Amino acid sequence: MMRSARYLMQKYGRFIEFSVPGPGGTYNNRGRYVKLDGTQLKARAIIAHLTSEDLRLYEAGTYTSNDLKVITSGHVGLPIGTTFVWKGSEYEIQEVTDNSHIADAQVHVAVKVVTKNDPA
């Protein structure tokens, strides 16, 4: 029995707070590009680790099984660079696939943001 994307989102989706980057940015004193402050967006999303089948579809070595797949409703647009916290770690959206014409859903791939002070 096939379920609609709306049903799956209501049953398995959780409200997550996303930080959507603002347009443009500036360079700091160390020469690093810093995005302007954006907006906070709270949206329902299904979050799961990438499966071996997902990894096979992407270019080899681009993502690992520790990276996340974020599925949102088709009307929720999360641009590349959007960040969110999941289970204590910060993740950043790196890729967006718009499937709204098929299943009213958008699939995003997020990678863990590793800072200098984070343990490996």
pLDDT, tens digit, 9 for 90 and up, residues 11-43: 888 899 998 887 777 777 777 667 767 788 899
User: Could you identify the residue written with the tokens 């641009």?
Assistant: 79
Domain ranges of the chain: 5-22+34-112
Q: How many CB atoms lie within 10 A of CB 51?
A: 11
Q: What pLDDT, on the 0 to 100 scale, is given for residue 1? A: 43
Q: How far is CA 19 from the centre of its chain?
A: 10
7 — pLDDT class (breaks 50, 70, 90): confident
Q: What is the pLDDT of residue 99?
A: 75
Would you say the C-alpha torsion 55, 101, 6, 16 has a positive or negative sign?
A: positive
Structure confidence by residue, pLDDT tens digits, 83-117: 999 999 999 999 988 776 777 788 899 999 887 66
* pTM, to two decimals: 0.78
Rounded Cα–Cα distance for residues 76 and 44 (Å): 9
DSSP code, position 15: E
- In terms of DSSP bridges, do strands 83-86 and 89-98 run parallel, antiparallel, or are they unpaired? antiparallel
Q: Which CATH number fits domain 5-22+34-112: 3.10.450, 2.40.10, 3.30.70, 3.40.50?
A: 2.40.10
